[in-house]
């Protein structure tokens, strides 16, 4: 075989099962690719060579015995937000310097139990706050994509920027990611990869560093729709350690792929036609609509009237929860400690030195909107708006809509340094204008590549579904993938 790293999970699974490929060979191919290219991309913040080889060896033994799990021998990258026992877990923040968890997150434990191999930990925006991977303490991730005729370094999106770049550059077969306001779907759209944020409660949050607990969800980023389905099947579980985990059986998502969308009703929300959206995004959306019509789906115009309040409400709810979740980083229990003259001084110095500027902004906004006298005006109102957003979706689904089609992002990827968060954070926040609504409502949302921009960069469409109906999204996303094809960057590295 020529390039082992170009195999999808489904292809590798077949080769491993027939023993024409060993897990060790596959893992070594990925480790070599990472060693050669990570200096260029900065996608991994730590590479677990020895652990990967030991896990691959154990996989080979199980394959030999005919005892293979669903992800046996498949090499994965893990976002730095997931606790991995004894391995670098710092949410890409300075404040967690040196922190090595004594436990494994439920999602990663599920993956290892099914035979997957860990290649290392992936770069991300600090505490998952950002849309470009530029807030990471470990520096930005470079996208493997370049605009036509340009060598300018582009962002892979964020916060799961390392995950998306590593999948697109073939530095892992697939990756774990998380999505609080768009962090799976926006980087997937920017890199020509597929990402799903499942319904809130589908994957356990146990052992994932908390950002905004009522919005955070784990999910995969992978090369195609089938691989995304394979990943989610193993990542999802019912977990008594997360009280928001929902007690429903995990379906075989892969079985939905290839099913017809004939007779399915797809809603097109008029409020997602935002001011200043480039023509090529509108054209991509129309193309998606045309593909579904051809496939026999019914297209209906719908209204989600509270959409315009989603982003401002998100930037109250998410910082409020973050300010509470991040209170635990005090220099005592985890990571960095900067000595002070007394304990209060030590707390202050540790937090001042440990958090980056975007994280500090969120903590300040969060504590402000929760403070006595402002709570009703901001936090309570934002929660009320959240209910209205959720109701908009419920009404559309009650009227017979099976899935909603929107653009995934308002633009293609931009250059590193283009949107300065210190100068104008709102410019960056606007990246998530189409994705945050889904987190606010707790619904499943999936980004699937649908075409290229005029300058040759990937563009994605988003599918939004009813709670716990991820199968509908896999079925519908596959139709787009069949029509649009897959998108891989030309190799320049
Ligand atoms: N970009 C959004 C933010 O900065 C969402 C991030 C995420 O989904 N983790 O909050």
Q: Is the CB of 318 under 6 A from ligand 1?
A: yes
341 burial (CB, 10 Å; 0-12 / 13-18 / 19+) is exposed
Whether ligand 1 lies within 6 angstroms of the CB of 440 is answered as no
Nearest partner of 280 among 144, 409, 131, judged by Cα: 409
Name the helix (H) or strand (E) containing 313: helix 310-325
Residue 286 — left, alpha, or beta (φ > 0 → left; ψ -120 to 50 → alpha)? alpha
pLDDT digit string, tens, across residues 83-105: 999 999 999 999 999 999 999 99
Mean pLDDT throughout 164-175? 98
Q: Return the pLDDT at 305.
A: 98
Q: What average pLDDT does the segment 282-309 reach?
A: 98
Given a cut of 60, whether residue 388 has pLDDT beyond it is yes
What digits encode the pLDDT tens for the residues 314-365? 999 999 999 999 999 999 988 999 999 999 999 999 999 999 999 999 999 9
Q: Distance, CA 100 to ligand 1 centroid (Å)?
A: 24
159 is catalytic: yes
What is the pLDDT confidence band of residue 1, given thresholds at 50, 70 and 90? very low
The CATH code of domain 1-493 reads 3.90.1300.10
Position 480 scores a pLDDT of: 98
Per-residue pLDDT averaged across 148-152, rounded? 96
With a cut of 80, say whether residue 175 has pLDDT above it.
yes
pLDDT at 387: 98
Ligand 1: does its nearest atom lie under 6 Å from the Cβ of 432? yes
List the single range of 240-244, 399-403, 426-430 with lowest mean pLDDT: 426-430
Q: What pairs with residue 461 in β-bridges?
A: 407, 448
Tell me phi and psi for residue 193, to 5 degrees: -110, 175
| Ligand 1 close to Cβ of residue 435 (< 6 A) | no
The whole-number pLDDT of residue 2 equals: 57
**Which CA distances in Å does 135 have to 84, 129, 155, 442?**
22, 7, 12, 26
pLDDT digits (tens, 9 = 90+) for 9-42: 999 999 999 999 999 999 999 999 999 999 999 9
Q: Which atom of ligand 1 is nearest to the CA of 184?
A: 8
Question: Is there an atom of ligand 1 within 6 Å of 129 CB?
Answer: yes
Q: Is 93 in the active site?
A: no
Structure confidence at residue 370 (pLDDT): 97
- CA-CA distance, 204 to 110, in Å (whole number)? 10
Q: Provide the pLDDT for residue 457.
A: 98
- Write down the mean pLDDT value for the chain: 97
User: Given a cut of 50, is residue 222 above it in pLDDT?
Assistant: yes
pLDDT 10s digits, 200-210: 999 999 999 99
Q: Say if ligand 1 is within 6 A of residue 201 CB.
A: no
| Options 59, 160, 163, 183, the catalytic residue | 183
3-state DSSP assignment of residue 291: helix
Region at 468 (left for phi over 0; alpha for psi -120 to 50; beta for the rest): left
d(CA 201, CA 73): 28
Rounded-to-integer distance, Cα 20 and Cα 403, Å: 40
- Cα–Cα distances in Å, from 62 out to 39, 111, 320, 444? 34, 15, 47, 34
pLDDT at 378 over 50: yes
Q: How far, in Å, is the centroid of ligand 1 from the Cα of 181?
A: 5
Distance of CA 449 to the CA centre of its chain: 14
Encode 273-289: b = buried (16+ Cβ within 10 Å), e = exposed: eeeebeebbeebbebbb
| Structural contact between residues 255 and 197, judged by C-beta atoms closer than 8 angstroms | no
Q: How far is the CA of 187 from the centre of ligand 1 (A)?
A: 11
What are the sequence ranges of the domains in the chain?
A: 1-493
pLDDT at position 214, please? 97
Tell me the C-alpha to C-alpha distance, in Å, between residue 171 and each of 13, 78, 214, 416: 17, 12, 32, 21
Mean pLDDT of 444-466: 98
Q: What share of the chain is helix, strand, coil (3-state, %, to 5)?
A: 45, 15, 45
User: For a pocket test of ligand 1, which of 161, 181, 313 has the largest count of ligand atoms closer than 8 A to its C-beta?
Assistant: 181
Out of 131, 132, 159, 245, pick the active-site residue: 159
Whole-model pTM?
A: 0.98
Closest atom, ligand 1, to C-alpha of 158: 1
Q: Using 50, 70 and 90 to split pLDDT, how confident is the model at 422?
A: confident
Going by the DSSP 8-state scheme, the letter that residue 222 receives in this structure is E
159 lines ligand 1 (CB under 6 A): yes
């Amino acid at each position: 075989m020529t390039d082992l790293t170009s195999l999808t999970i489904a292809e590798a699974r077949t080769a491993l099962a027939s023993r024409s490929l060993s897990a060790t060979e596959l893992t070594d191919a990925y480790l070599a690719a990472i060693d050669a290219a990570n200096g260029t991309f900065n996608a991994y913040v730590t590479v677990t060579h020895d652990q990967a080889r030991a896990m691959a060896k154990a996989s080979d033994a199980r394959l030999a015995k005919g005892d293979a799990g669903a992800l046996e021998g498949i090499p994965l990258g893990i976002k730095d937000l997931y606790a991995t026992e004894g391995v670098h877990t710092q949410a890409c923040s300075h404040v967690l310097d040196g922190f090595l968890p004594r436990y494994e997150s439920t999602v990663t434990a599920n993956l290892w139990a099914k035979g997957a191999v860990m290649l290392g930990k992936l770069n991300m925006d600090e505490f998952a706050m950002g849309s470009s991977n530029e807030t990471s303490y470990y520096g930005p991730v470079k996208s493997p994509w370049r605009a036509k005729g340009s060598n300018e370094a582009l962002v892979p999106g964020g916060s799961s920027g390392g995950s998306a770049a590593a999948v697109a550059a073939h530095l892992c077969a697939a990756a774990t990611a998380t999505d609080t306001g768009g962090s799976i779907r926006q980087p997937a759209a920017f890199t020509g990869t597929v990402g799903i944020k499942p319904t809130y409660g589908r994957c356990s949050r146990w052992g994932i560093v908390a950002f905004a607990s009522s919005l955070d969800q784990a999910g995969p980023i992978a090369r195609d729709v089938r691989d995304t389905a394979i990943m989610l099947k193993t990542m999802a579980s019912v977990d008594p350690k997360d009280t928001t985990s929902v007690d429903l059986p995990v379906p075989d998502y892969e079985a939905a792929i290839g099913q017809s969308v004939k007779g399915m009703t797809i809603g097109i929300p008029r409020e997602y036609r935002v001011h200043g959206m480039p023509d090529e995004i509108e054209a991509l959306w129309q193309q998606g609509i045309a593909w579904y019509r051809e496939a026999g789906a019914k297209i209906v115009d719908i209204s989600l009237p509270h959409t315009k309040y989603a982003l401002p409400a998100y930037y109250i709810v998410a910082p409020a929860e973050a300010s509470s979740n991040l209170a635990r980083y005090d220099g005592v229990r985890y990571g960095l400690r900067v000595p002070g003259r007394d304990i209060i001084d030590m707390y202050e110095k540790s937090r001042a030195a440990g958090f980056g500027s975007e994280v500090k902004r969120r903590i300040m906004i969060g504590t402000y909107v929760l403070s006595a006298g402002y709570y009703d005006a901001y936090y309570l109102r934002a929660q009320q708006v959240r209910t209205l957003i959720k109701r908009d979706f419920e009404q559309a689904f009650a009227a017979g809509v099976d899935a909603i089609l929107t653009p995934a992002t308002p633009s293609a990827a931009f250059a590193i340094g283009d949107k300065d968060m210190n100068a104008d954070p709102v410019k960056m926040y606007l990246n998530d204008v189409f994705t945050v609504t889904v987190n606010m409502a707790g619904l499943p949302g999936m980004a699937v590549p649908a075409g290229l921009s005029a300058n040759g960069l990937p563009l994605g469409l988003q599918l939004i579904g009813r709670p716990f109906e991820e199968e509908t999204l896999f079925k519908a996303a596959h139709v787009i993938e069949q029509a649009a094809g897959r998108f891989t960057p030309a190799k320049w590295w």
